Structure 1
Amino acid sequence: MAGHFEPLSGGGAAVALDEVEVSILRSLAVQLLELIGPGDESAGPEGADPLARLFAEGPSEPPSDPALARLFPDAYGDPGARQDPQERAHAAEFRRYTENDLRDRKREDALAVVRSLDSLAVAGDKAAVLRLAPEDCRRWLGALNDLRLAIGARLEIAHDDDSEALLRLPDEDPRKPMVMAYLWLGGLQESLVEALIG
């Protein structure tokens, strides 16, 4: 089970993680939280007025950071393609009313990963088994996907073939650790999906 999710009877999944794996996953999730940014602190713990929060306006322009642009793409038009003025207007309007909620969900997914990893007691070189309830699995899938999107953007991966070429990088290439993390996260994500549907 080491580094590979297995299904739990009654739903959910479990994975054995050693101290290094926990440290890497936690560090990546914290970096994702920093990339996404803080939430709306003025809304209070549950949001003072849910209706006002529902109609709160967010940004209308796509992020300039390539990793954030991958996490929060335009809803209209093809990525990287030039948009006509009408597509641009529709994308801006859609972003204005959806990006804040999407950021909140992505933030909650990453926080769920950090919290579940913090609950593990890993001693030395022994692995600890992390057991996730079905809802936690959904949050983990979201966070793993977001991590891969952000790392993929940093590595300029546009197609599956790109990651294969990056795998052949020499060990001294500074991108190699990021490539290995990208591939490892993909394996974790795939095994979690298989555990949930199997």
Structure 2
Amino acid sequence: MSGFTRVKKTGVCAATFSAFEADLLRSLAGQLIELLRNEVAAPETLDPLEQLLDFSGPTLVPEDPVLARLFPTAYPEDAEAAAEFRRYTESDLRNGKAAGAATIIDTLEEAGLDEQPEDGVFIDVELGPQAAVTWMRSFTDMRLAIATRLGIEEGDEERWYALPDDDPEGQVHDIYEWVGYLQETLVHAAS
């Protein structure tokens, strides 16, 4: 397992993933997209002009705790201002997060990740500056989703390290840590 490095000659951020790792990232990105699309953020309309001028987005905090964490209340002390802010911003934020996750999937597949990844295959990924930022943001969203589902809190590392290797929650926590490692190496490579 290696993270991202900067290619001095081209300035891109590069990483090599095993087929398993690349497929895991694709799965996490796909799950994030599915989660973002699960609750309708705004009514769909067929007229493109009407869609551009439509500001009838959601006004309530999402029911799913992960979505509530990804889209926190902007003004907790002012319910009316929070509802207005959510109405005008959440649909675009959801679309942006879904597009970022889709970029990860597209990049991995363009780099050679097949539908049925084979053992011994490696996927080389190179990210320019904009793609690197997109991946960093998506890594943040993935980590927030996993942390919320598992109930990860600051300072609770001993709890996770004490779990047996075959504990499913411990395995998901390992994925959380791995995505954090990828994010950290990508930040350093892009700097």
**TM-score normalised to the size of structure 1?**
0.83
Is 1:117 equivalent to 2:112 in the alignment?
Answer: no
The answer for unaligned runs of 5 or more in structure 2 is: none
Q: Using structure 2 for the length normalisation, give the TM-score.
A: 0.86
* In structure 1, C-alpha distance between the alignment counterparts of 2:111 and 2:163, rounded to whole Å: 34
Within 2, Cα distance between the matches of 1:126 and 1:41? 43
Amino acid at match of 1:92: A
Q: Deviations over 1:9-49 (max 9, x none)?
A: 443310010111011101111011100007879567xx823
Query: 2: CA distance between counterparts of 1:169 and 1:43?
Result: 49
| 1:1-198 matched pairs, under 5 angstroms | 2-9=1-8, 10-37=10-37, 42=44, 48-49=48-49, 53=52, 55-77=54-76, 84=77, 87-121=78-112, 124-159=119-154, 161-197=155-191
Query: Whole-Å Cα distance in 1 between the matches of residues 45 and 11 of structure 2?
Result: 34
CA distance in structure 1 between the aligned counterparts of 2:161 and 2:139, rounded to whole angstroms: 19
Alignment partners' CA distance in 2, 1:184 and 1:115: 21
Say if 1:13 and 1:133, in contact at 8 Å, map to a contact too.
yes
Matches of 2:13 and 2:181, distance apart in 1: 15
Cα separation, partners in 2 of 1:60 and 1:163, compared to 1, 3 Å? farther
Shift >4 Å, 4+ stretches: 38-44
How far did residue 158 of structure 1 move? 3.0
CA deviations 1:78-136 (Å, max 9, x no partner) are xxxxxx4xx22221111111101100110110000010011122663142311111111
Q: Name the CA distance, whole Å, in 2 between partners of 1:157 and 1:7.
A: 31
Q: What percentage of residue pairs aligned between the two structures are identical?
A: 38
In the alignment, structure 1 segments of 5+ residues that lack a partner are 78-83
Task: Give secondary structure in 2 for the equivalent of 1:30.
Answer: helix
Partner Cα separation in structure 1 for residue 14 and residue 190 of structure 2: 10
Deviation per residue, 1:35-88 (Å, 9 max, x gap): 0007879567xx823x852652211111111111111111123xxxxxx4xx22
Residue pair 2:22, 2:123 contacting (<8 A) in 1 also: no
SS at match of 1:175: helix
Aligned pair count reads: 184
Name the SS of the counterpart of 1:102 in structure 2: helix
